[in-house]
């Protein structure tokens, strides 16, 4: 005999099924909103609701993430002048936890955080990973073409992915992925170029850190440190490519803060920082799409979105990256 559900049973069964379906697809929805609109469901929900919905997935993420809990540290920003010269002698040990009091002061107009050249490449063929967002996607084909012409025995892998960064690690966990690649590929060099997708609120262990704030800067720096600490431990050289001038307000403000973090943490860990501001445009000066060449001609370096680079801009950064790497091969 076939049994039919009563109207009362259906009244609670259908909503229950709907809730289960929503929970099943919650992670996918979070990833889509984060990539398409830079919205985090955890960030916009009340803490009680966020904890109830995301606690299981956070528990699972922590279990599969290597390295256990990440220690906190404080940031010690450069002085107001901000400009630092190249450092040739990297630290011999893990940096001590620095101190900080406030976010970095803006640099004087036209100044920028200079390139850090602290590492020499190991002798012999290199195994290189290119990591980053759409900024790296523009550089990667040029770099791979040029470096393979110079060094046919080197291995270069491009892992760049659009709409990724260090903020939305639920969608793509860059620190965890780069560490996995260091071990799986036995890398000798890691090149990182990312950032425009990151100036959004961070949710860490259920706590929301507004951008820009000291809490945001601290937790963002922790993710940078997660990569650099793993690389130093494995004797993998790192070149962190700084961001050039940005046109849009939030992304521009983010680039200013991010470059300070990239530069300062690289200085502390003894890794390299490659400045792109002198090539493309400084963050401390008004945004310019065009740059004057020595012959007086104007060349367009920036795409219409004020973020990405034209082929001319990409070539300038690629040439600087290849030259930086070639200099690191010198005894």
The DSSP 8-state label assigned to residue 133 in this structure reads S
Least confident window among 1-10, 68-77, 100-109, 171-180? 68-77
Q: Are strands 155-158 and 127-132 parallel, antiparallel or unpaired?
A: parallel
Question: Cβ–Cβ contacts within 10 Å for residue 294, how many?
Answer: 5
Pick 46 or 296 by higher pLDDT. Answer: 296
Cα(245)–Cα(255) distance, integer angstroms: 8
**pLDDT at position 26 over 70:** no
Task: Return the bridge partners of 239, or none.
Answer: 191, 272
Residue 194 structure tokens: 């990312």
Cα(42)–Cα(53) distance, integer angstroms: 9
The pLDDT value recorded for residue 3 is 59
Give the dihedral sign, CA 277/285/225/87: positive
Least confident window among 100-114, 191-205, 262-276? 100-114
Task: Pick from 1-5, 44-48, 191-195 the range whose average pLDDT is largest.
Answer: 191-195
Confidence of residue 82 (pLDDT cuts 50, 70, 90): very low
The pLDDT value recorded for residue 4 is 60
Q: What does pTM read for this prediction?
A: 0.77
The DSSP 8-state label assigned to residue 191 in this structure reads E
Cα(41)–Cα(27) distance, integer angstroms: 10
The pLDDT value recorded for residue 245 is 95
* Domains of the chain by start residue, with CATH: 17-64 (no CATH), 127-328 (3.40.50.1110)
């Amino acid at each position: 005999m076939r049994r039919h559900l009563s109207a009362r049973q259906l009244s609670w069964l259908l909503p229950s099924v709907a809730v289960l379906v929503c929970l099943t697809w919650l992670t996918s929805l979070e990833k889509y909103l984060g990539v398409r609109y830079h919205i985090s469901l955890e960030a916009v929900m009340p803490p009680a609701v966020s904890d109830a919905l995301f606690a299981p997935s956070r528990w699972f993420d922590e279990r599969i993430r290597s390295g256990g809990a990440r220690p906190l540290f404080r940031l010690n920003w450069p002085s107001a002048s901000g400009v630092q010269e190249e450092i040739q002698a990297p630290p011999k040990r893990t940096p001590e936890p620095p101190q900080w009091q406030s976010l970095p002061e803006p640099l004087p107009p036209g100044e920028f955080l200079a390139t850090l050249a602290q590492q020499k490449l190991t002798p012999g063929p290199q195994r290189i990973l290119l990591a980053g967002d759409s900024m790296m996607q523009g550089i990667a084909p040029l770099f791979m073409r040029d470096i393979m012409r110079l060094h046919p025995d080197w291995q270069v892998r491009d892992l760049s992915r659009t709409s990724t960064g260090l903020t939305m690690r639920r969608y793509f966990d860059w620190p965890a992925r780069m560490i996995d690649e260091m071990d799986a590929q036995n890398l000798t060099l890691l090149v990182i170029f990312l950032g425009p997708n990151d100036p959004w609120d961070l949710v860490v262990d259920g706590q929301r850190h507004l951008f820009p704030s000291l809490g945001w800067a601290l937790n963002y720096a922790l993710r940078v440190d997660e990569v650099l600490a793993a690389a130093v431990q494995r004797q993998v050289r790192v070149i962190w490519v700084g961001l050039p001038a940005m046109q849009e307000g939030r992304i521009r403000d983010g680039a200013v803060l991010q470059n300070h973090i990239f530069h300062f943490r690289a200085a502390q860990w003894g890794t390299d920082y490659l400045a792109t501001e002198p090539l493309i445009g400084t963050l401390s000066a008004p945004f310019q799409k065009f740059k004057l060449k020595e012959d007086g001609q104007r060349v367009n370096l920036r795409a219409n979105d004020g973020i990405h680079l034209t082929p001319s801009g990409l070539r300038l950064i690629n040439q600087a990256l290849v030259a930086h790497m070639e200099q690191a091969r010198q005894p």
